[in-house]
Amino acid sequence: MNIKIIGVGKLKEKYLKDGIAEYAKRLHKFAKVEIIEVPDEKAPEQLSQAQMDQVMAKEGDRILNKIKDKEYVFALAIKGTERSSEELAAEIDHLTTTGKSDLTFVIGGSLGLAPDVLKRANTQISFGRFTLPHQLMRLVLTEQIYRSFMINAHTPYHK
């Protein structure tokens, strides 16, 4: 089983890096974990829609270059489908038992994900309508993936 998390931008905050590293370490007993950072596109604060589209497209290309054809892709998107922890666990369990052992989770930059990335995704997942910094979302996602494996292993962690 392989889990890949692709995020836009470099993580700078030590507390986030430490939290992600802890959950990734815990996940290693269930899966090989790879966390990939792709560079964010530098842009001024105020952007026209055309400029925003261009930034997302460039970041999208960088993301798509890190995804292989065989990977099952979860795109994190506000308009995606919300799942409970148990539903995500069941989905991961179903995917792995039906031969999908390469799962990739994609977190966009501050503008979100390019349409091409959303089109490539097998599913879109939402963690609610909150706006969270994409750096913090990496920690939340990593914990939820770990929680999914703990649910599937019937351990008391989830309680």
Residues 134 and 20: beta-carbon distance below 8 Å: no
Q: Which residues are annotated as a binding site for S-adenosyl-L-methionine?
A: 76, 108
In a domain, 157, yes or no: no
Query: What CATH number did the domain enclosing 35 receive?
Result: 3.40.1280.10
pLDDT per position as a tens digit, 21-35: 999 999 999 999 999
Name residue 123's beta-bridge partners: 74
In a domain, 72, yes or no: yes
Q: Which two tokens stand for residue 79?
A: 């308009």
Low-confidence ranges of the chain (pLDDT < 70): 158-159
In a domain, 132, yes or no: yes
pLDDT per position as a tens digit, 69-85: 999 999 999 899 999 99
What SS3 state is found at 77?
strand
In a domain, 32, yes or no: yes
What pLDDT is attached to residue 43? 83
What SS3 state is found at 8?
strand
In a domain, 87, yes or no: yes
In a domain, 8, yes or no: yes
In a domain, 48, yes or no: no
Q: Which residues are annotated as a binding site?
A: 76, 108
In a domain, 144, yes or no: yes
Name residue 33's beta-bridge partners: 3
**How many domains, the chain?**
1
